[in-house]
A and B are shown apart, each in its own frame.
Chain A
């Protein structure tokens, strides 16, 4: 199913069981934060792990998704599902425009351009009236999903977030294992050759980028619902850096890496929060260690040890 190998199917079952059991052991709001971060990282992994493009501006799509979902929830009183879809569409639309510009360059320039464009989005959000500037959009109601499921209860909200995460996770997996995904991998390995085979590589890259931005927008919208707030932090470039760290630590181009990375990075932030700037220092040290000695990430190393692809 969905192109899972045997080992991946087992890992998927383990993940689903963990998602089902954990809220009875751990704090659901913390777990929802992990799931949103994991979905965001899955979206990011699609573009770095399978197309080989390092986007340093993914916070723009996450944050704008978060703003739009929060705004529609608060001012139009739409259904929660509609707000999340609005978040995704916003991410996709913004991804189409910024991606069209950024894909004109590759490699290191792509990273710098996405960073600069996301910085522009940040300044836009700082000035634009609808975002509430420094205050952000606060006290966003969680509302109802599909009209009748009340989300004010944390556990109900948790199951909805889990469903969104699993849907996004499977969507990414399906994209990667489709013929389209095979072409993406071909472009990553050897772009001139893909071009010579007649593929319009720029179109493929742009479509993958837009899909990734859409899922990032969904993750942002879901996050806004869970915490009832959308702020400038969501569009700040430190959020972009965080998703890079999450994916790198979990394992670039692995199926389960982003989720694992999200669990570790979010827990670390949670427990180190009282130490202030030491969180930043720790994140930086993890970056350095990952790049120097641990480039396959946790899941990648585990897979290499067990000689399976996870």
Chain B
């Protein structure tokens, strides 16, 4: 057996893979938060609940309608995205003229309502979601056995993150979006329907969270608290990365997941707090965040 720093190789690589998976979720969630914040000036506290709704949507599609994993990967984000459009149109859009702390309070209230309703309907204990047949089993990579589903999660998350980055940085739509983030009235003067752009941005960020939720469903059990367990760490990730750059969110998310995984190998007691410790260090050295613009 290969030993690395006195740790068996398979154990080290196994934790690294788990770290990458957590990192994939951090990246997708913090990416959505950053995009929404850029456009709406609101920190979407309900992001964790919408992630949870994504997982529940896939579970419901399977159990009530018999629709499998792969269609759910498209359908669940679509459904949750439509829910996001309704939220934005009816409630969140009333806040744009107010101090953005109110946005945080309102979306916190939304998350309480959503999680409370799901807890009433489904209880707090999780429900299993089976890994699709094609992704069952494990592959021998030579240095470790990799469960196929976990590899798939990392790859799918990377692809979606890069695609989001490409849409925002490399397409005309993304150019309009970035322009509207900088100066919305000016972009509106050029004839762009900015309110619709804002709604679509919110829906996009929400759909990203729901997509992450579907990916998470077979790994963690589907339960109403799965979002709130994640979201506090994601806030720390956002503070560490700063919300200025899309690629920055992706790199920070994956990076912190890996750091968390490594901590689990070398000093397990600190694995829950290491992300927050990194945040403290970043605040001391570079308060605006690794990729943040100067305030």
CB distance from B14 to the nearest CB of A (A): 23
B109 smallest CB distance to A (angstroms): 3
Give 25 A-B contacts (CB < 8 Å), ordered by A residue: A56-B104, A105-B287, A108-B104, A109-B239, A111-B104, A112-B43, A112-B239, A113-B239, A115-B232, A117-B279, A119-B233, A120-B277, A244-B105, A244-B108, A280-B112, A280-B115, A280-B116, A281-B117, A281-B120, A283-B109, A284-B110, A284-B116, A286-B109, A288-B106, A291-B102
The answer on a CB contact under 8 Å between A288 and B287 is no
For the residues of B in contact with A, the DSSP-based class is helix
Residues of chain A touching chain B, judged by Cβ–Cβ distance below 8 Å, are 54, 56, 101-102, 104-109, 111-113, 115-117, 119-120, 123-124, 126-127, 237, 241, 244, 248, 276-281, 283-288, 290-292, 295
Note all chain B residues with C-beta closer than 8 A to A104: 283, 287
* Chain A contact residues: helix, strand, loop or mixed: helix
B94–A292 touching, CB < 8 Å = yes
Q: Is B235 engaged at the interface, CB distance under 8 Å to the other chain?
A: yes
How many angstroms between the C-alpha atoms of A280 and B236 in the bound complex?
Answer: 24
In the complex, the number of residue pairs spanning A and B with C-beta atoms less than 8 Å apart equals 122
> Does B57 belong to the interface (CB within 8 Å)?
no
Q: Give the CA-CA distance A63 to B284 in the complex, in Å.
A: 25
Nearest CB in chain B to that of A277: its residue: B119
B109 touches A111 (CB 8 A): no
Complexed CA–CA distance, A216 and B22 (Å): 34
**Closest chain B residue to A113, Cβ basis:** B239
Question: Which residue in chain A gives the minimum CB-CB distance to B240?
Answer: A116
Q: Which residues of A contact B112 (CB under 8 A)?
A: 241, 280-281, 283-284, 287
A65 and B239 CA atoms in complex are apart in Å by 27
B238 to chain A, nearest CB (A): 6
Contact flags (1/0) for B91-135 with A, using CB distance below 8 Å? 100110010111011101111111111011000000000000000
The size of the chain B interface, using a CB distance under 8 A, is 42
Smallest beta-carbon distance A166→chain B, Å = 29
Instruction: Give the distance to chain B from A231, nearest Cβ to Cβ, in Å.
Output: 18
In the complex, A186→B223 CA distance in Å? 46
Whole-angstrom distance from the CB of A216 to the nearest CB of chain B? 19
- B116 A277 Cβ-Cβ under 8 A: yes
In angstroms, Cα B280 to Cα A100, docked, is: 10
Residues of B within 8 A of A117 (CB): 276, 279-280
B120 pairs with A278, CB closer than 8 A: yes
Q: Complex Cα distance A280/B225, Å?
A: 13
User: Which of these, A56, A108, A116, contacts B279 with CB under 8 Å?
Assistant: A116
In B219-247, which residues have CB < 8 Å from any A CB?
Answer: 232-233, 235-236, 238-239
Residue of A nearest to B279 (CB): A116
CB distance A287 to B116 under 8 Å? no
Q: Which of A101, A111, A277 has the most CB of B within 10 A?
A: A277
